[in-house]
Structure 1
Amino acid sequence: MKKLLKPASLLFNILCLLVFFLTGVFFAGWIEAGKNQGLAAGAIVLGWGVLFAGLAFIVSFFLTYHLVHKKIVIGNWVLLGCLLLGYGITYYRYQQRQEIREEESGPYREKPTVPIQKPDQQGMLISLVSNMSASHFQNTDPGMGFFSPNIFDKPTLYFYNRPNLEKSILEHAPQDSVTFIKNEYNQFEIATAPPWLVPEILKMDYDILYFKIKSVTEEFVEVIVNAQTGQTAYLSKQAGKVMYWPEFLLRVNSVELLPDTGEKVKTRALPTSSDVQTTYAFLRPVKIQADWAQVILLNQDLQEVGRGWIRWRREGHLLIRFNLLS
């Protein structure tokens, strides 16, 4: 019993407790024990640390009872080295997370972007992408929908290149960014942007900026950042709103059936149903059901003259063009 109360034995017990607590925490991170657990994630990781520490603390009493004093001293030095190593790793990870948070809370400066301040430059970019919004999607992959950045609350939009999708976005550093400012008319403008930036839809005088979505993950959304070349980048989901095609169509002002598709307004969401004979000027979606959309038929005065159904998509290809503003 006296052997258990010697300073070296007591130090061995304490070091085992601390070292294996860190081991349990690292093990929980390795197996992603707290992933998708929300507020309970911290408690789960802490629980693994306590479990490892408790078992090691109990075993340490048996070891100090049976080991000779010299081996206990050597064990103390080994455990102390492991403790310092674990502390160093923990501190390094903490510093990395702090740097990422600082980068995301302030303007990104590591990689300079191209300023877009001259009206002719911005106007050229707007003209380029606005012309693509009408029927551009008919012969191209329409993607999953659109991502609209929240430029009102987050004036800097960060781009990530090939992130590790199994890790948190806090563990990634952005590769580039686009920044927004308000002009003298209290309208948002692009202040700086990468030279390759060509969004799918851009009309800053109406605060409209949409990127076409290629894929989504738990924390990231992959978007096409150059509508001409198909170049993609990743954005944080928290930086804006993900709108899949059904939700996006319910937000547009009107849609039109492309003339070369042969599609007509139907009385029901069936290809064999009869055509609606009412004359109309515009179609406004009010309900999406799979590849069909229920629409309100409007005349030139935007008054309802009837209702019907249109097929807006077939085999992944759009059968309509949309109008965001009119």
Structure 2
Amino acid sequence: MKMNKSKWTLLVLIMLFMLPQAKGQQAGLGMFRPAWFEQPVLYLYGPVEYNKTSQDHTPVDSIVFQVEDGGGVNIISAPPYLVPEHLKLDYDVLWFRVIGITGGFLEVIVNSTNGQTAYIRKDQGSFLYWPEFLTTISTVEPVAGNPLRIKPLDHASEVETEFAFLHAVAARDEWLMVELLDSDLNKISTAWLKWRNSERMLLTWSLFM
């Protein structure tokens, strides 16, 4: 069943307000952004077979975008369960968390409140592994108990410098080099932040400063 634009938008806003991110959600591999200007319909697939091409699979659902004359975009049709990781279309923002790769498909979380997944074709947008994604967004923030360090080592000394924001500029294995910024976005110094361990991600992030 499809939902029209107004009902779908209201439902997503309510669900995101009540529970913006699923508890214990797996870290996955990175993030995917649809290329709606080039491909206004994003097809969703059920379980796929790795030894078959995308043309050999039939979509089970879809998300239909409408590009406005001024360049903005709206979703005019979508399945009722759709609650992506990030949605702010007035800023051209729509990201899905990727948890798997199979042939020409990505497995993405299509409902961030309950972890429901679907498959999408890789050629329908841009896929960024976590280090790429985290070094292109505005700010990151460590979870409690994950201090900044002077080197990318668990036993390195902690950084005690006060700051307002952290901006990731480079990645090395499980570590991010971050710039410490003041409230005016001036650089104070740099440090290293561990962004994940074997079980979970050790930070949160913001797409906007």
TM superposition score normalised by structure 1: 0.60
Residues 177/190 of structure 1: CA separation in 2 closer, same or farther (3 Å cut): same
Q: Deviations over 1:211-251 (max 9, x none)?
A: 11121022111111112222211111000111111111011
Moved over 4 A (4+): 130-133
Q: 1:174, 1:145 → 2: CA distance? A: 23
Q: 1:153 Cα shift? A: 1.0
Find out whether 1:313 has 2:201 as its counterpart. Answer: no
Q: Which residue of 76, 86, 93 maps to 1:201? A: 86
1:132 Cα deviation (Å)?
5.6
Partners of 2:3 and 2:121 in 1: CA distance: 22
Helix, strand or coil at the partner of 1:247: helix
Cα displacement (A) at 1:130:
7.1
- Describe the shift of the 1:215–1:176 C-alpha distance in structure 2 as closer, same or farther (beyond 3 A): same
2:186 is the alignment partner of 1:272 = no
Partner of 2:181: 298
User: 5+ residue gaps in structure 2?
Assistant: none
Q: Rg larger in 1 or in 2? A: 1
Q: CA deviation at 1:316?
A: 2.6
The answer to whether the 8 Å contact 1:291/1:313 transfers is yes
After superposition, the C-alpha distances for 1:92-118 in whole angstroms (9 at most, x for unaligned) are: xxxxxxxxxxxxxxxxxxxx62222x2
Q: Which has the higher contact order (CA 8 A, sep 6+)?
A: 2
| C-alpha contact 1:129 1:200 (8 A) present in aligned 2 | no
Which residue is equivalent to 1:24?
A: none
Distance 1:167 1:243, change over 3 A: same
The Cα offsets for residues 3-49 of structure 1, whole Å up to 9 and x where unpaired, read as xxxxxxxxxxxxxxxxxxxxxxxxxxxxxxxxxxxxxxxxxxxxxxx
* Conserved 8 A contact 1:130-1:201: no
Structure 1 alignment gaps of length 5 or more: 1-111
**2:51 counterpart (141, 166, 174):** 166
Query: 1:78 maps to what in 2?
Result: none
Question: What amino acid is the match of 2:2?
Answer: T
User: Residues 114-170 of structure 1: CA distance to partner in whole angstroms, max 9, x if unpaired?
Assistant: 222x2x74144146347766xx47732121111111112111001111222211111
2:111 is paired with a residue of what secondary structure? Answer: coil
CA distance in 1, matches of 2:89, 2:55: 29
Identical aligned residues as a percent: 34
Letter in 2 for 1:313: R
Residues in 2 aligned to 1:222 and 1:209: alpha-carbon distance in whole angstroms: 16
**Alignment size in residue pairs:** 209
1:122 to 9, 24, 31: 9
The residue type paired with residue 300 of structure 1 is S
1:163 is paired with a residue of what secondary structure? coil
Name the amino acid aligned to 1:271: D
Q: Give how far 1:185 is off.
A: 5.4
CA contact (8 A) 1:126 1:202 kept: no
- Whether contact under 8 Å (1:222, 1:235) holds in the other structure is yes
Say whether 1:139 aligns with 2:24.
yes
More helix by share: 1
Distance in 1 (CA, whole Å) between partners of 2:33 and 2:122 is 10
When residues 137 and 275 of structure 1 are mapped into structure 2, their CA distance, relative to the original with a 3 A threshold, is farther
Q: State TM-score, norm by structure 2.
A: 0.91
Q: In the aligned structure 2, how far is the partner of 1:265 from the partner of 1:312?
A: 10
Q: Label 1:289 to 1:279 Cα distance change in 2 as closer, same or farther (>3 A).
A: same
**Structure 1 counterpart of 2:65, one-letter code:** F
Task: Tell me the secondary structure at the aligned position of residue 159 of structure 2.
Answer: coil
- Counterpart position of 1:113: 2
1: CA distance, partners of 2:206 / 2:183: 15
The equivalent of 2:63 in structure 1 is 178
The question of whether the paired residues in 2 share the 8 Å contact of 1:113 and 1:177 is answered with: no
**Distance of aligned partners of 1:184 and 1:240 in 2 relative to their CA distance in 1, 3 Å threshold:** closer
Aligned residue for 1:293, secondary structure, equals: strand
